[in-house]
């Protein structure tokens, strides 16, 4: 935080000074790819993923310490009775993650991914966005700074997930603020809001964006007024990963909304991120299109907790393994000339 000035000042400076990709590592990866024992381009998107890893790590593509970080928060807006599950489920699921009983635990075991849970003041829900700001500037900046620490233990691929009853409502409000359109374009069922629950969810999102409308030209104001603690921490984690040359896999609707805040502040802010999957939440595909990205997977999942990003990490690991482990034509003696030496 700044010695003088406002809590967001350092983030504003950071957002305008993000490092770019490493051109040398990218050229080296393209050069090696052209020598591997496969027809040019035959590994399709896996080749693009290897190049992306090289560009954003500045090294030969490798994934040795992948990490899933789950950020958990609670939301004052749930007082409007807009979700089928109570806010107490956030803490209960955090305990389930710790005990190894959630879907994300099984995917982490499957793909050999580390898992860290960051619960963010679950006993202190954010302000109700329909009637006040979710967070003060000070609290929002401090939570972003906390999120930046997610990578402190070291990782070379960060998969970002979240847990927070009510957070598909705040994600919808963020998207409506950033992209416009109708509340109905961005509000979906989340964990299963239909009928009157869904109608109230739509009304609350409209009310929230209307209440804060004079302040929504500034992406960090969108974050603190309409977001939540896990949303702020995710924004911080994505920024920290960029500074530390760590590629990022984004998960579903809520993580994408958090990421969109950064993109609104700097169009290049998400160039080190891929979208792990498109979730079943109807607004997710629309939000992904606004980011100009193509998700790696489409499995009809709508769970959150990092599950889509973690599944995609398996593909990213395979892309790195192919790039680094395959033989070159020369090494394998594969050639397209009869009895010749070159391909
Ligand atoms: O990632 C998604 O696209 C996604 C879609 C629907 C629900 N969720 C999860 O469900 C919770 C939020 O849903 P809700 O209905 O309480 O707003 C939160 O814990 C998210 O991880 C996540
Ligand atoms: C049970 C349950 C598990 C979740 N995981 C992510 N969000 C969730 C929401 C609920 C309700």
pLDDT of residue 100: 98
Q: According to DSSP H, which parts of 80-218 are helical?
A: 88-99, 103-111, 137-148, 167-179, 183-186, 195-211
Q: Name the residue with the closest Cα to ligand 1, atom 19.
A: 163
Ligand nearest to the CA of 94: 2
Interatomic CA distance for residues 168 and 221, integer angstroms: 18
What's the CA-to-centroid distance between 303 and ligand 1, angstroms? 6
Q: Is 253 in the pocket of ligand 1 (CB under 6 A)?
A: yes
Q: Is 251 in the pocket of ligand 1 (CB under 6 A)?
A: yes
CA 142 from chain centre, in angstroms, equals 19
Considering the candidates 162, 221, 230, 305, report the single residue annotated as catalytic: 305
Q: Between β-strands 114-119 and 66-72, what pairing exists: parallel, antiparallel or unpaired?
A: parallel
What's the CA-to-centroid distance between 272 and ligand 1, angstroms? 24
- Angle (deg, nearest 10), helices 45-57 and 23-35: 150
What is the mean predicted confidence (pLDDT) over 296-303? 98
Q: Is the pTM of this model over 0.90?
A: yes
Sequence-ordered list of residues with C-beta below 8 angstroms from that of 128, at least 6 positions apart, any chain = 76, 77, 79, 80
pLDDT of residue 339: 64
What is the mean predicted confidence (pLDDT) over 73-84? 98
What's the CA-to-centroid distance between 88 and ligand 1, angstroms? 14
Q: Is 21 in the pocket of ligand 2 (CB under 6 A)?
A: no
Asked whether residue 86 carries a pLDDT value surpassing 90, the answer given is yes
Contact 218, 140 (CB under 8 A): no
Condensed to tens digits (0 to 9), the pLDDT of residues 169-228 reads 999 999 999 999 999 999 999 999 999 999 999 999 999 999 999 999 999 999 999 999
Q: Is 80 in the pocket of ligand 1 (CB under 6 A)?
A: no
CA 81 from chain centre, in angstroms, equals 27
DSSP letter (8 states) at residue 4: S
Q: How many residues does the chain have?
A: 343
What's the CA-to-centroid distance between 248 and ligand 2, angstroms? 23
Q: How many CA atoms lie within 13 A of 45 on its CB side?
A: 11
Ligand 2 atom at shortest distance from the alpha carbon of 85: 11
DSSP letter (8 states) at residue 9: H
Using CA atoms, how far residue 228 sits from 1, 122, 311, 327, in Å, is: 19, 11, 25, 48
Q: Is 165 in the pocket of ligand 1 (CB under 6 A)?
A: yes
Computed over its alpha carbons, how large is the radius of gyration of the chain?
A: 21
Interatomic CA distance for residues 281 and 185, integer angstroms: 11
Q: Is 163 in the pocket of ligand 2 (CB under 6 A)?
A: yes
Interatomic CA distance for residues 27 and 213, integer angstroms: 45
pLDDT of residue 1: 47
What is the mean predicted confidence (pLDDT) over 326-332? 98
Asked whether residue 2 carries a pLDDT value surpassing 80, the answer given is no
What is the mean predicted confidence (pLDDT) over 233-243? 98
pLDDT of residue 4: 66
Interatomic CA distance for residues 335 and 253, integer angstroms: 47
Q: Is 129 in the pocket of ligand 1 (CB under 6 A)?
A: no
| Catalytic site includes residue 305 | yes
Interatomic CA distance for residues 250 and 171, integer angstroms: 14
What is the mean predicted confidence (pLDDT) over 116-131? 98
Query: pLDDT band at 338, cuts 50/70/90?
Result: confident
Using CA atoms, how far residue 275 sits from 8, 28, 78, 158, 239, in Å, is: 27, 25, 27, 12, 16
| ipTM of the complex as predicted | 0.99
What's the CA-to-centroid distance between 68 and ligand 2, angstroms? 16
Q: Is 82 in the pocket of ligand 1 (CB under 6 A)?
A: no
First to last CA, the chain: 57
Ligand nearest to the CA of 89: 2
Q: Is 278 in the pocket of ligand 1 (CB under 6 A)?
A: no
Condensed to tens digits (0 to 9), the pLDDT of residues 9-33 reads 999 999 999 999 999 999 999 999 9
What is the enclosing helix (H) or strand (E) of 307?
A: helix 307-325
Phi, psi of 40, rounded to the nearest 5 degrees:
-55, 130
Ligand 2 atom at shortest distance from the alpha carbon of 164: 7
Percent of the chain with pLDDT over 70: 97
Contact 67, 158 (CB under 8 A): yes
Ligand nearest to the CA of 92: 2
Ligand nearest to the CA of 72: 1
Which of 115, 161, 163, 171 to mutate to test ligand 2, by most ligand atoms within 8 A of the CB atom?
A: 163
Closest by CA to 334, choosing from 12, 74, 35, 30, is 35
| Averaged pLDDT of the chain | 97
Query: pLDDT band at 337, cuts 50/70/90?
Result: confident
DSSP structure string for 37-71: SS-TTTTTHHHHHHHHHHHHHSSSS--SSEEEEEE
pLDDT of residue 3: 58
pLDDT of residue 8: 98
Interatomic CA distance for residues 255 and 134, integer angstroms: 17
Contact 256, 162 (CB under 8 A): no
Q: Name the residue with the closest Cα to ligand 1, atom 9.
A: 304
Interatomic CA distance for residues 312 and 59, integer angstroms: 21
């Amino acid at each position: 935080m700044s010695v003088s000035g406002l809590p967001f000042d350092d983030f504003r400076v950071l957002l305008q000074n993000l490092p770019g990709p490493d051109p040398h590592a990218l050229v080296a990866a393209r050069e090696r790819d052209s020598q591997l024992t496969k027809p040019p381009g035959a590994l399709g998107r896996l080749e693009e993923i290897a190049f992306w890893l090289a560009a954003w790590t500045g090294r030969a593509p490798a994934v040795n310490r992948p990490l899933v970080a789950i950020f958990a928060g609670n939301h004052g807006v749930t007082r409007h009775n807009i979700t089928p599950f109570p806010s107490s489920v956030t803490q209960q699921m955090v305990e389930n993650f710790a005990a190894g009983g959630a879907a994300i635990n099984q995917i982490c075991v499957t793909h050999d991914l580390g898992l860290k849970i960051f619960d963010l003041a679950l006993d202190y829900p954010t302000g109700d966005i329909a009637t006040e700001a979710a967070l003060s500037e000070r609290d929002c900046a401090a939570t972003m700074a906390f999120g930046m620490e997610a990578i402190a233990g070291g990782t070379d691929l960060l998969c970002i997930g979240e847990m927070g009853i009510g957070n598909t409502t705040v994600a919808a409000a963020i998207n409506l603020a950033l992209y416009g359109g109708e509340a109905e374009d961005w509000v979906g069922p989340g964990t299963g809001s239909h009928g009157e629950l869904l109608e109230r969810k739509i009304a609350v999102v409209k009310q929230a964006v209307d209440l804060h409308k004079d302040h929504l030209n500034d992406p960090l104001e969108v974050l603190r007024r309409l977001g939540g603690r896990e949303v702020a921490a995710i924004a911080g984690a994505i920024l920290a990963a960029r500074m530390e040359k760590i590629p990022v896999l984004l998960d579903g609707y809520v993580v994408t909304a958090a990421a969109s805040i950064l993109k609104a502040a700097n169009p290049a802010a998400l160039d080190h991120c891929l979208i792990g999957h498109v979730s079943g939440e109807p607004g997710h595909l629309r939000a992904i299109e606004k980011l100009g990205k193509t998700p790696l997977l489409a499995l009809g999942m709508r769970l959150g907790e990092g599950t889509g990003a973690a599944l995609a990490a398996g593909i990213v690991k395979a892309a790195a393994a192919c790039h680094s482990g395959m033989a070159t034509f020369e090494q394998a003696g594969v050639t397209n000339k009869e009895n010749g030496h070159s391909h």
